[in-house]
Structure 1
Amino acid sequence: MNTIPVRVVAAEVIAEGIRLLKLSSQDGSPLPTWEPGSHIDVHLDPGVIRQYSLCGSCTDTSTYEIAVKREPESRGGSKFVHESLGVGSQLSISAPRNHFTTSTEADHNLLVAGGIGITPIISMARQFHRQDRAFELLYFTRSETHTAFRDELASGPLNSSCRLLFGLERDAVEATLDDALRNRHDGSHLYLCGPQPFMDTVRAVAARHGWPDDAVHLEYFAAAAPLDAEPQTSFDVRLARSEKTFTIPADKTIVDVLREHGTDVETSCEQGVCGTCIVKVLEGCPDHRDYFLTAQEHAKGDCMAMCVSRSLTKLLVVDL
């Protein structure tokens, strides 16, 4: 996978526990263009790759901006960003990818962010404002000090379309969402990002008020830890193009086995969140365990996320 060498040209704390980095290419050349909702892979320590949403101006290709929350249960990514990176640090990133695109046909856009979930959402708000498109932004945070981009949202050009909601209890969050989502009209689209319990609440309220799945767009930052491990059994995967068949044991993923046998599979999060490894299914019934595909796509069964999903049938044939 091709990467882009970059250096950190600015670093600052923009809210409690949230650090913003500005990255520029090491040779001074423009970075690839991107659209709101895009993310990049950031190569940190050897073997540590994390995905972060771009949250700067998509009209400026001289730098990228990412904002990273310090996670108490950090597996190495956020801790490294907060403790080891500073101005002048050099690292590599991927080109931007976007699985969280905005609709060009929406008459009205409702943006809902919880905590660090503001990072992909704020670039959407800026674009809608710049294009003079109707939108409303609801941003839920623990407190004013935990609110990223607070000055811009509270007193900048986005202020008239933004509501900052601090420290609400769960019932108050649901009541606020209920009011916002109750009277959907045709042409409205919902975009949401944040911690999984928060997003589950938003989705439940939206479903209660009849929002169709194709009007609800979301992005998870990480898969939830399973409460109970799902039983796993072995199955076979056949690659239609090469006609090779591999057995996937209970303790390995499809991606693991294909890589062991020399078949390179492009992945990013390897948690079923980002959609990078989605492949077309030609035969068999996938056991979907991802957070990227919609319920309709799961039911249709003609594609799957190979990094986490398995098979309900003895054989899966995929378009590889």
Structure 2
Amino acid sequence: MNIIPVRVTAAETIAEGIRLLKLAPRDGSMLPVWEPGSHIDLHLGPGIIRQYSLCGSYRDTSTYEVAVKREAASRGGSKFVHESLSVGSELSISAPRNLFPMHRGARRSLLVAGGIGITPIISMARLLRDRGQPFDLLYFARSEAHAAFRDELSGAALDGSCQLLFGQERDAVEATLANALGNRRDDCHLYLCGPQPFMDTVRMVAARHGWPDDAVHLEYFAATPASGAELETSFDLKLARSNKTFTVPPGKTIVDVLREHGTDVETSCEQGVCGTCVVKVLDGCPDHRDCFLTSQEQASGNCMAICVSRSRSTLLVVDL
């Protein structure tokens, strides 16, 4: 994976608990071109790699911008960004990857964001504006103070196509979504990003109004954590290429066990979000716990994200 040394050139608070970083290459070169929906890995320290959506200008490759929300239950990433990074700090990032691409055939787009989920969505809005393609944007936030990019979204820069919705209760959120998602045109595509409960609500309302799966595009920030009960079962993992078999005990992931036995596998988020660790399944029944694979891919049982997913069968054979 291409690793790029960068330096923080600007750091500012843009909303309650949200910090915006500007990152520039240390050698003064230009960064790789990217498209809205892309994210990068931030290498924040030993064992701390986090993914953040690019939210600056897709036309400017002299710097990248990411906005990071400070999480109360931070596993080290957002806390580090908010407390340890400042102008002049040096770190490494990955080249952009786009797991949330826009559908090029869409004639109209509906963009829906909840909280920090605005970061990939605002880049999409800018691209649609620049292309002269019609869109509507709904941004749900706890309050005006918690809304990132508030001035840009509420001003004329995005052609008045944005609604900022503050402090709505669940019933009001559903009513707003129902009004926006009703009477879908065949050429309209939906893009959504935000916390999982919010995303689930949007998907539920979209399904209720007949939106087909191939017109709904989304990005989660993290996979649903497994419960303690689900982690209690061990299983055997067989590597087809080397004919080695290892036991994956409760409380350890497949990736953990492979690394303990000297088998290096490429990972990135290790949360079941990015798809870097997806492998082919040759035999057995995966217990999918990621949010990268589509429901059809999960149902096929032909592949799995080994950073979070486990096995429903006592033996799982993978193409490694």
Per the shorter chain, which TM-score range?
over 0.9
Q: What SS is found at the alignment partner of 2:121?
A: helix
Cα distance, 1:207 vs structure 2: 1.4
Q: What SS is found at the alignment partner of 2:37?
A: coil
Aligned pair count?
320
- Counterparts of 2:227 and 2:156, CA distance in 1: 42
Q: What SS is found at the alignment partner of 1:160?
A: coil
Q: Which residue of the partner structure matches residue 78 of structure 1?
A: 78
Q: Which residue of the partner structure matches residue 258 of structure 2?
A: 258
Q: Which residue of the partner structure matches residue 28 of structure 1?
A: 28
- Counterparts of 1:122 and 1:257, CA distance in 2: 39
Q: Which runs of 5+ in 1 are unaligned?
A: none
- Counterparts of 1:314 and 1:258, CA distance in 2: 17
Contact kept, 8 Å, 2:231 with 2:251, in 1: the verdict is no
Contact kept, 8 Å, 2:224 with 2:290, in 1: the verdict is no
Q: Which residue of the partner structure matches residue 237 of structure 2?
A: 237
Q: Which residue of the partner structure matches residue 249 of structure 1?
A: 249
Q: Which residue of the partner structure matches residue 145 of structure 2?
A: 145
TM-score (norm 1): 0.94
Using a 3 Å threshold, how does the CA distance of structure 1 residues 229 and 37 change in structure 2: closer, same or farther?
Answer: farther
TM-score (norm 2): 0.94
Contact kept, 8 Å, 1:213 with 1:294, in 2: the verdict is no
Contact kept, 8 Å, 2:43 with 2:49, in 1: the verdict is yes
Q: Which residue of the partner structure matches residue 171 of structure 2?
A: 171
Using a 3 Å threshold, how does the CA distance of structure 1 residues 164 and 93 change in structure 2: closer, same or farther?
Answer: same
Contact kept, 8 Å, 1:286 with 1:311, in 2: the verdict is yes
- Counterparts of 1:33 and 1:319, CA distance in 2: 33
Q: Which residue of the partner structure matches residue 64 of structure 2?
A: 64
User: After superposition, where does 1:126-205 map in structure 2 within 5 Å?
Assistant: 126-205=126-205
Contact kept, 8 Å, 2:223 with 2:271, in 1: the verdict is yes
Q: Which runs of 5+ in 2 are unaligned?
A: none
- Counterparts of 1:240 and 1:301, CA distance in 2: 16
What CA deviation, in whole Å up to 9, does each residue of 1:116-175 have, x standing for no partner?
000011111111111222221110111212111111111132142211111111111110
Q: What SS is found at the alignment partner of 1:32?
A: coil
Cα distance, 1:231 vs structure 2: 4.7
AA aligned opposite 2:160: S
What CA deviation, in whole Å up to 9, does each residue of 1:43-81 have, x standing for no partner?
113322211111011121110000011222222221221
Cα distance, 1:214 vs structure 2: 2.0
Cα distance, 1:199 vs structure 2: 0.9
Q: Which residue of the partner structure matches residue 300 of structure 1?
A: 300
Percentage of matched positions with identical amino acids: 76
- Counterparts of 1:294 and 1:54, CA distance in 2: 23
- Counterparts of 1:246 and 1:42, CA distance in 2: 32
Q: Which residue of the partner structure matches residue 9 of structure 2?
A: 9
- Counterparts of 1:168 and 1:133, CA distance in 2: 29
**Which shifted more, 109-118 or 65-74?**
65-74
- Counterparts of 2:307 and 2:45, CA distance in 1: 22
AA aligned opposite 1:262: G
Using a 3 Å threshold, how does the CA distance of structure 1 residues 29 and 319 change in structure 2: closer, same or farther?
Answer: same
Cα distance, 1:306 vs structure 2: 0.6
RMSD, aligned CA: 1.7
Cα distance, 1:21 vs structure 2: 0.6
Cα distance, 1:241 vs structure 2: 3.1
Q: What SS is found at the alignment partner of 1:14?
A: strand
Using a 3 Å threshold, how does the CA distance of structure 1 residues 246 and 280 change in structure 2: closer, same or farther?
Answer: same
- Counterparts of 1:42 and 1:69, CA distance in 2: 14
- Counterparts of 1:35 and 1:27, CA distance in 2: 23
